[in-house]
Amino acid sequence: MPEVIYRLDPVKKIATFLIDTAGPVNTIGDQFIKDLAIATEKANRDNVKGVILASLKKKSFLDGANLMEIMKDGSALNLKYTVLKLQEVFAALARSPFPVVAVLPGQTALGGGFEMLLWTCDHVFATEGTKLGLPEVNIGLFPAAGGPEALRRVIGLEKAIEVVMRGQVLPAEAYEDSCLVTITNEKDIQKDAVQWIASHRIIINRNYDPLWKEPAKPTKKVRNALIKKVRERFALCPEKPYLKAAIDAIEEGLELPFEEAAKNEVIHFAPLIEHPNVKNKIDFFFLMTSIAPRLSIVNLEKAIPAPELAIIGAGLMGQGIAQVCADKGIKALLIDIDIKTAEAAKENIGKGLEPLVKKGRWTSERKTMVMDNIRVSDKYDELKTIPLVIEAVFEDLDLKRKILKQVQDINPDIVFASNTSTIPMQEIAAESARPEMVVGMHYFSPVPLMPLLEVIQGPQTSESALATAVASGRQQGKTCVIVGDGPGFYTSRTFGAYVMVGFYLAEMGIDPWEIDQLALEAGFPQGPLNIYGTAGGNVIYHAGSYMQAKKPELIEVPKTLVKMYEAGYVGAGKPCFYGPGMKPDKSALEHVVRNESLPTPTREEAKEMLLLAMANQAFHCLDEGVVKNYYSMDLASVIGIGFPDCWHGPGRYVSQKGVKHTLGRLQEFYDKYGLAFFKPAREFERLIACGVDSGLV
CB under 8 Å, gap of 24 or more: what pairs does 155-162 form? 155/215, 156/214, 156/215, 156/216, 156/217, 157/214, 157/216, 157/217, 157/218, 157/223, 157/226, 157/250, 157/254, 158/216, 158/218, 158/226, 160/250, 161/226, 161/230, 161/250
Closest alpha carbon to 123 in 188, 63, 210, 195: 195
Instruction: With residue 51 as reference, give the H or E element that holds it.
Output: strand 50-55
For residue 558, give Cα distances in angstroms to 254, 544, 547, 677. Answer: 49, 9, 13, 11
Cα gap 51→67, rounded to integer Å: 28
Domains, the chain, in order of start with CATH, read 4-274 (3.90.226.10), 300-484 (3.40.50.720), 491-689 (1.10.1040.50)
What was the pLDDT predicted at 484?
Answer: 98
What integer best gives the mean pLDDT of the chain? 96
First to last CA, the chain: 38
Backbone angles phi, psi at 133, to 5 degrees: -175, 165
CA distance 635 to 612: 17
Q: State the pLDDT at residue 574.
A: 66
- Please state, in angstroms and rounded to a whole number, the distance separating the CA atoms of residues 278 and 397: 44
What pLDDT does residue 576 have? Answer: 79
Backbone angles phi, psi at 211, to 5 degrees: -95, 0
Q: What was the pLDDT predicted at 411?
A: 98
The b-or-e profile of 629-655 (16+ CB within 10 A means b, else e) is ebbbbbbbbbbbbbbbbbbbbbbbbbb
> Cα separations (Å) of 207 from 84, 98, 128, 423, 655?
17, 15, 27, 59, 45
Residues 498 and 523 sit within 8 Å (Cβ to Cβ): no
Whole-number Å distance between alpha carbons of 538 and 576: 12
Buried b (16+ CB within 10 A) or exposed e, 117-140: bbbbbbbbbbbbbbbbbbbbbbbb
Residues in the chain predicted with pLDDT less than 70, given as ranges, are 572-574
| Residue 323: HSE in the Cβ half-sphere, 13 Å Cα cutoff | 24
Between the alpha carbon of residue 427 and those of residues 52, 404, 446, the distances in Å are 63, 12, 26
pLDDT by residue (tens digit) across 112-163?
999 999 999 999 999 999 999 999 999 999 999 999 999 999 999 999 999 9
**Cβ-contact 101, 122 below 8 angstroms:** yes
**Which ranges in 254-315 belong to alpha helices (H)?**
258-269, 276-286
According to the model, what pLDDT value does residue 573 have? Answer: 66
Distance (Å) of CA 261 to CA 101, 255, 256, 265, 388:
24, 8, 5, 6, 56
DSSP state of 416: E
Euclidean distance between CA atoms 151 and 157, whole angstroms? 8
